[in-house]
Amino acid sequence: MDGSAPLSLSGVGTDLRALRRSRGVTLSALAADLDRSVGWLSQVERGLSEPSIDDLRCIARAFDVPLGFFFRNEDAPDAERGHVVRAAHRRSLGNPVAGLVEELLSPDIGGAFETLRSTFAPGAELAEAQTRETEEAGYVISGTLDLWIGDRAFHLGPGDSFRFKGEPYRWRNPGNGEAVVIWTIAPPVY
């Protein structure tokens, strides 16, 4: 860390705490990864200290989220903050190179659930099934998505929806175009 000047960002601590908890990372483990003290990290999460841009870069790398995840639309009217997310100001998660980009539709990740707009590139695939301690539901806006829940395979198209809870799942976009899915996850995982 080079001690660059801190950024004035509202809600960074709240988002960091929710992100850390959703990933099952302890304060001490993250502090060790960042080469920072547990006390400093605790102060950041409680809004008593603000991380520098270099600190945020390290945190973003530790959680594999883009740096922009921690920025909020400070130009939004006060009445909208925490309630409304304008299309032009969504926080982007994921990596187009990996075949999946997700935009956070929820105002933040501090609530009981999060809603994402997931865009799957043609041929993108989660080849290894994963299981999360979550309940998840989705609605296919466009394109096609193959979804495996447990040992059951589903081919989904526009207008189809799904839900599963704590079951192994994987997905693939078998189409030639992007698949867009609105995905809700409780509790938040980002």
- Which residue ranges make up each domain of the chain? 12-70, 88-186
CATH number of the structural domain 88-186: 2.60.120.10
- Mean pLDDT over 78-85 rounds to 84
- Mean pLDDT over 62-83 rounds to 75
Which is higher by pLDDT, 51 or 163? 163
The answer to whether the beta carbons of residues 12 and 70 sit under 8 Å apart is: yes
pLDDT of residue 68: 67
**SS3 label, residue 84:** coil
pLDDT of residue 101: 84
Q: Is 36 exposed, middle or buried (0-12, 13-18, 19+ CB in 10 A)?
A: middle
**Cα–Cα distance for residue pair 163/106, rounded to 1 Å:** 19
Percentage with pLDDT > 70 across the chain = 86
Classify domain 12-70 at the CATH topology level.
434 Repressor (Amino-terminal Domain) (1.10.260)
Q: Is the pLDDT of residue 8 over 80?
A: no
pLDDT of residue 55: 84
**Cα–Cα distance for residue pair 42/21, rounded to 1 Å:** 13
Q: pLDDT tens for residues 104-141?
A: 898 877 778 989 999 999 999 999 999 999 999 999 99
Task: Tell me the whole-structure pTM to 2 decimals.
Answer: 0.71
Mean per-residue pLDDT over the chain, rounded? 85
Spell out where the chain has E strands.
91-95, 100-104, 114-120, 125-130, 135-142, 145-149, 152-156, 161-165, 169-172, 179-186
- Distances 162 to 7, 22, 129, 148 between C-alpha atoms, Å: 40, 22, 17, 11
Q: Is 113 exposed, middle or buried (0-12, 13-18, 19+ CB in 10 A)?
A: middle
Percentage with pLDDT > 90 across the chain = 49
Structure tokens at 134: 């979550």
